Amino acid sequence: MHLDYPQKTNGLYLLNRQNIEEIETGILEEHMPAVLNSPCAVNIKWLAEEEYGLDIQHYFLTYDSSILGLIAFAHENITVMDNTFNKIITEIDEGTVIIERTLMGRSNFCRYRFTLAHEVSHWLIHRPFHSPTNKQYEFRTAIQSYIACRSADIENKKHINRDDTDWQEWQTDSL
């Protein structure tokens, strides 16, 4: 999906709520047009894997589940935990989504869906900002080629002075 919206010089899109709604409609028109005439739940896993080619993996990301999901914009080595909570380094490729393993199961179904949709939204609207091919990327030492989304970012939405990270979270939560 090509986005034709203004961007900051660093590649971050300047999106408002109307722009987000236009993007939503564009996604549905392109991939699930029937939903626009007969509303139903969007199969976000199908959209992520089949339409956008994302690879969904499940790991324990932190001991306290403070990171719910992650999306990679380039090949990376990241630290995750195995089933016995031993730290391991795993290679992930561009387009890999990792969802916190504790979100699997019926009791966390809604949080799992939201987290997956959130990571897909990052993929759609924040690749220009995080991509190593972005000329500004090499000058931003705090920016990685992946985004790890913390539960605090999702649950603490009241920000007076928003920085680029806050705007990214607002945009993806809205989408």
pLDDT at 137: 47
pLDDT at 1: 74
pLDDT at 140: 46
Let me know if 58 is exposed, middle or buried by CB neighbors in 10 A (0-12, 13-18, 19+): middle
C-beta neighbour count of 143 within 10 angstroms: 20
Task: Record the pTM.
Answer: 0.87
In angstroms, the CA 87 to CA 120 distance is: 26
- pLDDT average per 10 residues of sequence, the chain (175 residues): 86 92 95 91 94 96 91 90 93 94 93 95 87 54 66 56 83 92
